[in-house]
């Protein structure tokens, strides 16, 4: 289970005021709204989530890196668990013409406002019950999603990803390496229910039989 980080450039492009997240707004009310996964979370004010999640091309370098690393080819099938508006899936189809993509997300709003070119390949659903056959997907991705589950659902979701994937899988979750990063994560997060150190994440993934790759988002 190698640790891989495809999101460093994406993460470093975002500037965050961690203290303001808990002093300028009612953090509990904002988090409650965010966990509805609706318009507030995706396209509302910044205190509720993304502050407007619009296509801007920033996912293309990430798609290129993923395609190179996993040697994706036309005809390969890629599933994004927690695909949101599916910008990454769209960019993967541009990086590898002929790629077959699938996306699943809990948010009906995200699916309804997804990238039109791949919208027909998306469905509303839960990571704990993936509607795909065993070992039917060449690459399963899950970015910044699984930490939003409680640990019992998290275990089920990891096992589901392992079940539907053939060989290649990559899970990326929020984590912390020191006390500063832990405090920043707790200040900034709105939806996270499971947060662990990288060592603890690796332990849990192994305990649940996961045999793919993983990566982390840190809040510096």
| Domain residue extents for the chain | 8-21+59-217
* pLDDT at residue number 83: 98
How distant is the alpha carbon of residue 73 from its chain centre? 22
- At 93-115, the pLDDT tens digits run 999 999 999 999 999 999 999 99
- At 26-57, the pLDDT tens digits run 999 999 999 999 999 999 999 999 999 999 99
Helices (H), 71-171: 87-95, 108-112, 151-164
| Residue 10 scores a pLDDT above 80 | no
Domain 8-21+59-217 has CATH 3.40.50.150: yes
Angstrom distance (rounded) from CA 201 to CA 209? 13
User: Residues 8-18: what's their mean pLDDT?
Assistant: 76
* pLDDT at residue number 9: 72
Instruction: Note the pTM of the prediction, 2 decimals.
Output: 0.95
How distant is the alpha carbon of residue 86 from its chain centre? 10
Angstrom distance (rounded) from CA 206 to CA 212? 10
| Residue 174 scores a pLDDT above 80 | yes
Residue 199 corresponds to which tokens in the numbers above? 């060592």
* pLDDT at residue number 205: 97
- Burial status of residue 133 (CB atoms within 10 A of its CB: 0-12, 13-18, 19 or more): exposed
Instruction: Say if CB 203 and CB 173 are below 8 A apart.
Output: no
Across the chain, what does the average pLDDT equal? 95
* pLDDT at residue number 116: 97
User: Residues 173-190: what's their mean pLDDT?
Assistant: 96
| Residue 199 scores a pLDDT above 90 | yes
- At 55-95, the pLDDT tens digits run 999 999 999 999 999 999 999 999 999 999 999 999 999 99
Residue 85 corresponds to which tokens in the numbers above? 């508006």
* pLDDT at residue number 12: 66
3-state secondary structure of 25: coil
Instruction: Say if CB 160 and CB 134 are below 8 A apart.
Output: no
Residue 172 backbone phi and psi in degrees, to 5: -125, 130
Indicate if the alpha-carbon torsion angle 213, 15, 94, 61 is positive or negative.
negative
Q: Residues near 74 by Cβ (< 8 Å), separated by ≥ 6?
A: 96, 97, 98, 99
């Amino acid at each position: 289970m190698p640790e891989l980080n495809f999101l460093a450039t994406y993460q470093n492009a975002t500037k965050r005021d961690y203290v303001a997240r808990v002093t300028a707004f009612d953090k509990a009310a904002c988090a409650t709204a965010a966990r509805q996964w609706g318009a507030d979370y995706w396209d509302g004010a910044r205190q509720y989530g993304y502050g407007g999640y619009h296509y801007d091309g920033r996912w293309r370098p990430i798609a290129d890196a993923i395609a190179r690393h996993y040697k994706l080819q036309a005809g390969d099938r890629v599933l994004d668990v927690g695909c949101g508006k599916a910008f990454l899936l769209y960019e993967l189809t541009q990086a590898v013409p002929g790629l077959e993509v699938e996306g699943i997300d809990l948010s009906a709003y995200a699916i309804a406002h997804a990238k039109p070119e791949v919208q027909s390949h998306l469905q509303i659903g839960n990571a704990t019950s993936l509607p795909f056959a065993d070992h039917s997907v060449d690459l399963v991705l899950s970015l910044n999603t699984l930490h939003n589950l409680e640990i019992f659902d998290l275990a089920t979701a990891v096992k589901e990803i392992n079940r539907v994937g053939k060989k290649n899988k990559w899970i990326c979750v929020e984590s912390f390496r020191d006390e500063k990063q832990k405090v920043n994560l707790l200040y900034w997060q709105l939806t996270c229910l499971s947060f662990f150190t990288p060592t603890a994440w690796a332990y849990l993934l192994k305990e649940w039989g996961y045999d793919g790759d993983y990566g982390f988002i840190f809040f510096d």
